[in-house]
Structure 1
């Protein structure tokens, strides 16, 4: 594998959650190639900054992406998290109402 990638580990963790909101820390760590502790710290960052929400379901965690969050770097700040996730072929769980981007708005 190359020594660098286009996306940060934060983006990789976010994309893993987008692909499966019920993934375990172990599974995310394996996919991203970092430690479980690293995943915990990244998830804590994403939750603290409002990009993710964690809900306890039994003994497991379920994560919900907040698709309206803006990317952090000034070069990408005009894009939402949803834009990144959708550009890579995943789903944020955000649903467009029937009839367009904003129900009831003229097209």
Structure 2
């Protein structure tokens, strides 16, 4: 795997959830290439930041990505989460 990527792990986790809101932590960790603990920490950031909402459904979690959220870096702050998700063809 390359030593760097264009998107952060936060973006990768967000895109995984946009693609499948019922992904398990293990599945996300495997796809992103980080540990489950890393996914948990990123999810906590995304939830705290208002980008993602977690809902317990039976024994699983369902995640809702909030498309109206603004990207955090000054260079991208004029874009919404919806723009990022759409750029990867994941809009519903």
Indicate whether the TM-score tops 0.5: yes
What is residue 38 of structure 1 aligned with on the other side? 38
Structure-1 separation of matches of 2:34 and 2:68: 27
Q: Give the CA RMSD over aligned residues.
A: 0.6
Report the TM-score when normalising by structure 1: 0.84
Please state if 1:73 is matched with 2:78.
no
Q: Please list every run of at least 4 consecutive aligned residues from structure 1 whose deviation after the TM superposition is greater than 2 angstroms.
A: none
- Structure label with greater radius of gyration: 1
Higher helix share: 2
Counterpart secondary structure, 1:55: strand
Q: CA deviation at 1:47?
A: 0.2
RCO comparison, higher one (Cα < 8 Å, 6+)? 2
**Pairs within 5 Å for 1:1-107:** 1-91=1-91, 93=92
Structure-1 separation of matches of 2:42 and 2:58: 22
Task: Specify every segment of 5 or more residues in structure 2 that has no aligned partner in the other structure, as ranges.
Answer: none
Task: Specify every segment of 5 or more residues in structure 1 that has no aligned partner in the other structure, as ranges.
Answer: 94-107
Counterpart secondary structure, 2:13: helix
Q: CA deviation at 1:6?
A: 0.2
